[in-house]
Amino acid sequence: MRGGLSLTHSYYEALRRLTLQLAGVQMGSDHAFLVETRLSDLARKEGYDTLDAMVEDLFATGQSQLALHVVSTLVERDTHFNRDTVSFDALFEHVLPDLVEKRGGGRIDLLSYGCGSGQDLYSIAIKARDPQNAQILTPVSLHLKGVDYPSQALERARAGRYTHFEIQRGLSVRDMLAHFTPDPTPGSTDWLVASHLRENVTFEDAHLMADKGQRESCHVILFRGTVKHLSRSARYRVSKTLTLMLRHGGYLILGSDDSMAEINAGFSQIDGYPGVFRRHDAIVEPVGKQPTNRTTFEGAKARRSNSH
């Protein structure tokens, strides 16, 4: 641990275990400064005088909602508009045209699993309005949904509000002016998503690691840039969930440099499009036994109690 930090080693290790359990993410042993920076802001928002007070309350009472807020804050990823353009090219060059041709009309549902602050979905909504893409999509109605842990990032996605710095990351000036408006609030430098871009775009709270895949099935799932941070058991759980939520013949889009062996059972990779998989028309269960060496929140609490 670095000098000057207030979190004790036992609390830091307990937070690492909690993050692994709830988000499937193995947090490093050298991220103490990042942990304190992020959680100090959350502690103030939650009404605690100090970070220590919030962490002590978390492990003393086992508040599930606070635990989710803490973990979602710790695993929040830095994202921006039009990131990983290889994936977006695959979506509009192959995935959506194939689905439009096969369906001929109706509705196409796309889910961003772990959507963060929502830039991916709004980027897709912008790209769908390009004349060439709009013509391809004319026979169908494209509906976009983002799900993630409850967090400040997800609230920004719902509000469609981005800072001046965020709005410049990945967006052209043309798209910025065409699809966003300056926040009229005096003193604000934020930008707001224009109403026309919010059509058919929704966001929903979800506990990703506890998700049973019971929401309405969809034709495309985006799960990009997260795989490498997940433990093996978390990858297995997510693969089961995504398989349940994706329709037969639907597409799973990982990041172009993602690799996830636990998720390829039941899927075929699309030649020429890294990270893009099509679900088989027949149900195929993931192969192998689910790892069971998981740490529980209750176990972390017990270990914390025994350390005193």
Supply the pLDDT for residue 121.
Answer: 96
194 burial level (CB within 10 Å; 0-12, 13-18, 19+) = middle
DSSP-derived 3-state class of residue 269? strand
Residue 301 pLDDT > 70: no
Q: For residues 176 and 19, which has the higher predicted lDDT (pLDDT)?
A: 176
Share of the chain above pLDDT 70, in %: 84
Supply the pLDDT for residue 286.
Answer: 47
Supply the pLDDT for residue 306.
Answer: 53
pLDDT band for position 76 (cuts 50, 70, 90): confident
Residue 274 pLDDT > 90: no
List, for residues 36-46, the tens digit of each pLDDT value: 888 888 888 88
pLDDT band for position 235 (cuts 50, 70, 90): confident
Residue 112's identity, in one-letter code, is: S
| 239-254 mean pLDDT | 88
Supply the pLDDT for residue 283.
Answer: 46
Residue that is written with structure tokens 């109605």 in the block: 141
Rounded Cα–Cα distance for residues 251 and 147 (Å): 17
Supply the pLDDT for residue 56.
Answer: 87
Residue 31 pLDDT > 80: no
How high is the mean pLDDT of the chain? 82
Q: Give the chain's length.
A: 308
pLDDT band for position 92 (cuts 50, 70, 90): very high
Query: Which residue blocks in 76-222 are alpha helix, DSSP H?
Result: 85-90, 96-103, 119-128, 131-136, 152-159, 164-168, 173-179
Supply the pLDDT for residue 214.
Answer: 62
Residue 100 pLDDT > 90: yes
Helix (H) / strand (E) element for 144: namely strand 140-148
Supply the pLDDT for residue 263.
Answer: 60
Q: What's the Cα-to-Cα distance from 132 to each of 9, 39, 138, rounded to whole Å? A: 55, 45, 10
Q: For residues 276 and 262, which has the higher predicted lDDT (pLDDT)?
A: 276
pLDDT band for position 294 (cuts 50, 70, 90): very low
Residue 295 pLDDT > 60: no
| 221-250 mean pLDDT | 82
The dihedrals phi and psi of 132, each to the nearest 5 degrees, come to -65, -45
Q: For residues 100 and 282, which has the higher predicted lDDT (pLDDT)?
A: 100
Residue 27 pLDDT > 50: yes
Residue 205 pLDDT > 50: yes
Supply the pLDDT for residue 234.
Answer: 79
Lowest mean pLDDT among 35-49, 137-151, 230-244, 288-302: 288-302
pLDDT band for position 260 (cuts 50, 70, 90): low
Supply the pLDDT for residue 287.
Answer: 44
Supply the pLDDT for residue 238.
Answer: 80
Share of the chain above pLDDT 90, in %: 35
Supply the pLDDT for residue 212.
Answer: 67
Rounded Cα–Cα distance for residues 22 and 78 (Å): 19
Residue 33 pLDDT > 80: no
